[in-house]
Amino acid sequence: MFDGRKHYLAPAFTIRPMEHLPRRLALIGLAILFTLALGTVGFVLIEGYPVFDAFYMTLTTVTTVGYGEIHALSRAGRIFNSFLISFGVAVIFLAVGAMTQTAIELELNQFFGKRRTRNMIERLDGHYIVCGFGRLGRGAADELKRAGVSFVVIDRNEERVESAMKLGMLGLAADASSDDVLREAGIAKAKGLIATLASDADNLFLILSAKSLNARLHLAARVDEEASEQKMRRAGADFVFAPYNSTGHRMAQALLKPHVHQFINFATQGTGLNVNIEQVQVSTRSSFADRTLAEIHVQRDLDVIVLAVRKAAGEMLFNPPPEMKIAAGDHLIVMGEADRLQKLEQLLTVTAA
């Protein structure tokens, strides 16, 4: 059962002792087995001991128990036993030393990993917080990683968070509904939060807590029940998603309008076509503010299609005409190749001369 305490998990490069542990255990086990087999065979061949007596004699020798000789040893047997004592004790000491080293490395790794993760989170600004690393949470985290933005994953399950770290993500194994945990994740400076916890009740409580800690936070939440959608919105969620409903709609659309479905996948997931749909904001310092789309020559010079314009006041205009003026604060919803979109973003943030 989860104990409610916070556990910091750093990115993948900090868990090397855990990666080395199986190999070390295997080498230690092989060394001990080889020593026991060597001693058993030696006593059988040199002294004619029964196999069990030879094994027992070897075990008491290498462990330095000192019960004495089971049967009287000849001169050759004592020479062999002297060698076995030296070799066996050395192997046992090396095994103990290796295990001690591993334990110390794990403790140090955990200590420095916690401090490193804490420092990395404290330096974040304008980042996102993904609460829950199940199937939906993993999908959200993958998209954030693909977009190149900073984010923190929070989940109660340490194995899930460890899988996130192995992908190079910042992880925090804790209860995401705790105000203290959200503060540790830097919610005061965060830009957005994605709530994908197990139940609607957990997500609702999380949204309420997050909004109280950062009123400017953009919130996206998942719901299982349709009745929960309005509750999430009243609690402060900006976007609410019902995975099962949306999946059912998409499955039907894929059969009814397969080409439309394929195009949407191409444009939003980058599968098979090198285009993306992005939003680009017109900067207040842009030299193209208060100019028309035709004057910017977006489609002619950059080969970028303007699908819509969201005005600063909130109005969304689809398929805007070329003579439409864009103003500072407007968002252009555009589609094109990644490098073209980057050039457009640079163009709309150029300082006027």
Which pLDDT score is estimated for 9? 47
Integer Cα distance of 300 and 204 in angstroms = 47
Cα distance between the two ends of the chain? 62
Instruction: Name residue, tokens 């080293």.
Output: 101
SS3 139: helix
The pLDDT score that the predictor gives to residue 180 is 93
pLDDT at 137: 92
39-64 confidence digits (pLDDT tens):
889 888 988 888 998 888 888 888 77
> Per-residue pLDDT tens for 288-311?
888 888 888 777 788 888 889 999
Q: Which residues of the chain have pLDDT under 70?
A: 1-21, 66, 105-115, 117, 266-274, 350-353
Ordered structural domains, the chain, with CATH: 13-114 (1.10.287.70), 124-247 (3.40.50.720), 258-347 (3.30.70.1450)
Q: Are 330 and 281 in contact (CB under 8 A)?
A: yes
Residue 140, C-beta contacts closer than 8 angstroms, at least 6 positions apart: 130, 194, 196
Residue 158 CB neighbours (<10 A): 14
Contact 4, 153 (CB under 8 A): no
Q: What is the DSSP letter of 286?
A: B
- Is the Cβ–Cβ distance between 325 and 310 less than 8 Å? no
Strand pairing category for 239-241 and 218-222? parallel
Cα dihedral 217→222→223→227 (10° resolution): 40
Beta carbons of 285 and 349 less than 8 angstroms apart: yes
pLDDT at residue number 272: 54
- At residue 67, the pLDDT reads 73
For residue 288, what pLDDT is reported? 80
Distances (CA, A) of 292 to 306, 326, 330, 344: 12, 6, 12, 14
